[in-house]
Structure 1
Amino acid sequence: MLAPLPALAYPVTVQSCNRAVTFDAAPKAAVANDVNLVEMMLALDLSGSMVGYTGVSGWKTLDEGLRAGVAELPELSALYPSREVLIGAGTDFFFAGWNYGMKVGGEVTPETLEPFGIRVYELTESCIHIMPKAKISMEDMYSDLLNLGRIFGVEDRAEALVAGYRAELADTIAGLSPLAAPPRVFVYDSGEDAVFTAGRYAMPTAIIEAAGGVNIMDDMEKSWAEIGWEPVIERNPEVIMIVNYGDVTADQKIAFLKGNPAFANIPAVQNDRFVVLDYVEATPGPRNIGAVRKVAEALRAE
């Protein structure tokens, strides 16, 4: 493991949603919530600064690569952690987000953890739940990695990682064949009577746009939200992105869409045009770059 920068690099101040948060030293007992946030920590080689993670096994199957990366760390809570769980682990830093381990008005927030010496950095994508923000872009994910680099004194490592991601994405986009028009894409996360999908502030919108498409719900002023099926049918998606996690498999979601007569005339269903992204690919994190490549290939498939 690479050594952090000398302590004299501190204090550092980063912007976390609507708060400026100052760190006098690198955290030594960090906890990250959710599989994609844990992967950001691992991508920066920060497992040695962690005392555990939360919110993975209760929602998703732990990826084998991630399992190896956190082999020495305990999962402190299968779902969202309580304040007591974080305090009991001696946590000094919580990397989470709104609806990624924290709920607005809940018991675990930056304000409720501050008296216990636990500083919080919020996932940028999630800031829309508490403040206005610009439309989602890959820059949101890059910003989180760079801010984590500053917080933990590994800024050079973070900058090199992000530079690599930028170059990889640029190479992917440069190698894409042109499209006559951006294909219309619908993001199907879950639900049957109603559907949980991604709006203009959720990472799939940035992935779809980088790949050359357009999210049919990109005028929905939310990140992730539940809607009725009517606008999906009206907007006639040509490709459907399936988010794969939980008890209902991607194949079962596709079977539901293909078996429901209400969706029979949707071009994506008629032409069997589905692209499956695992949860960790569809939420902000290191796998977003590969997700763009996967979606771009699906948009150009015959």
Structure 2
Amino acid sequence: MIRLAFAALLLSVSAAAAFPVTVKSCDRDVTFDAAPARAISNDVNLTEMMLVLGLRDRMVGYTGISGWKTLDPEMREGIAELPELSAKYPSKEVLAAAEADFFFAGWNYGMKVGGEVTPETLEPFGIKTYELTESCIHIGPKARSTMQDMYQDMLNLGRIFGVEDRAEALVASYKARLAEATKGVDRDNPLRVFVYDSGEEAPFTAGRYAMPTALIEEAGGVNIMDDLDKSWAEVAWEPVVARNPQVVVIVNYGDVTAEQKIAFMKGNPAFAGIDAVKNDRFVVLEYVEATPGPRNIRAVEKLVAGFAGQ
């Protein structure tokens, strides 16, 4: 018993010695003197990053899921004991009332540029913020999205919470699984792909800084809107028709189902000449697969199969 207690003490001292740690969050360096103990995450994909790292016991709740999306059984089980503190974006008061010490969110993933909840407005409450890397384009220049964005977020969370070994092991497993999924991909003749998120009058789609662009490229395609200098944005239908995608990726969430989005495209005469519509080539990704998070690998696997016509 004495030996076990001594081992536990050494482990505690070792964990404490790992702090302080400093991570890059968009254009900021954020220093943590200790691992957060009362964390809150916003949105389903960011919450899942916390869960796969085994951080549920460090969380006091989550925000921004039920207002737009539904939880699948996998996620419902993971957060069964956690309260949803706000159905959509939280207010400063909600986060402060929960006595949070950490907010994992992003720009347009729980925070808005110039809004009431930002890293600067939360600092006086003792709440440190880590920003989703994909979202950093909203506040300044960044490189186009790649899988490294998601990997880096996982590794940074690992450092912030003192579970770096766990994060590194997960990222290594993701890389190995991705390599296996894409080993037969033909990168010399990429398929033209359009991402259809939502909207009938004008589609909401993914540009070069959105995660689906990286997922599509990993699977052997090219996003026909990869010259769109944004992450997610509304465009006109005319360039979609003109660029003639061979595959349409449907993002499934919200009140309009994937089946309804596909039916809309197949039933509209304006789209009758699009190769993807003529050949009935649609691949459905769930929201949690199309946004940065652990299910990105599953998304690539689905895209590889869909691009191959399986």
Instruction: Report the TM range for the smaller structure's normalisation.
Output: over 0.9
On the 8 A contact 2:185/2:220 being kept in 1, the answer is no
- Equivalent position to 2:90, from 51, 61, 81: 81
- Superposed CA deviations along residues 24-78 of structure 1, whole A, max 9, x for unmatched, are 0000000000000000000100000000000001110112111111111100000
Q: 1:66 aligns with which of 75, 81, 87?
A: 75
1:179/1:20 CA distance change after superposition, 3 Å: closer
| Deviation of the 1:232 alpha carbon | 0.3
Q: Where do 5+ consecutive residues of structure 2 fail to align?
A: 1-10
Secondary structure of the residue aligned to 1:127 is helix
Map 1:43-54; keep pairs closer than 5 Å: 43-54=52-63
Tell me the TM-score normalized by structure 1.
0.97
Counterpart of 1:77, as a letter, is S
Q: TM-score, normalized by length of structure 2?
A: 0.95
- Between structure 1 and structure 2, the one with the greater Rg is 2
Aligned pairs (5 A) from 1:199-218: 199-218=207-226
Instruction: Tell me, yes or no, if structure 1 residue 26 matches structure 2 residue 30.
Output: no
Shift of 1:178: 3.1
The match for 2:309 is 301
**Structure 2 CA distance, aligned partners of 1:263 and 1:123?**
35
After TM superposition, the structure 1 = structure 2 runs for residues 273-292 of structure 1, keeping only pairs within 5 Å, are 273-292=281-300
* C-alpha separation in 2, matches of 1:104 and 1:7: 35
Secondary structure of 1:58 counterpart: coil
Residue 4 (structure 1) shift: 11
Does structure 2 conserve the Cα–Cα contact (< 8 Å) formed by 1:5 and 1:153?
no
Q: Is the 8 A contact 1:179 1:300 kept in 2?
A: no
8 Å Cα contact 1:32/1:38 also seen in 2: yes
Residues 57-111 of structure 1 show CA distances to partners (whole Å, capped at 9, x for unaligned) of 1110112111111111100000000100000001000000000000000000000
Q: Deviations over 1:206-265 (max 9, x none)?
A: 000000000000010100001111110110000000000000000000000001110000
Summarize the alignment of residues 124-143 of structure 1 with structure 2, pairs less than 5 Å apart. 124-143=133-152
Aligned equivalents of 1:183, 1:4: Cα separation in 2: 53
- Report how far residue 3 of structure 1 moved: 8.6
CA distance in 2, matches of 1:253, 1:214: 21
Are 1:15 and 2:12 matched, yes or no?
no
Cα RMSD after superposing both structures? 1.4
SS of equivalent to 1:6: helix
Bigger mean CA deviation after superposition, 209-218 or 177-186: 177-186
Q: Unaligned 5+ residue runs, structure 1?
A: none
2:251 matched to 1:243?
yes
- With 264-273 and 180-189 compared, the bigger mean Cα shift is at 180-189
Equivalences, count: 300
Question: Structure 1: which 4+ aligned runs deviate by more than 4 Å?
Answer: 2-5
Percent identity over paired residues: 72
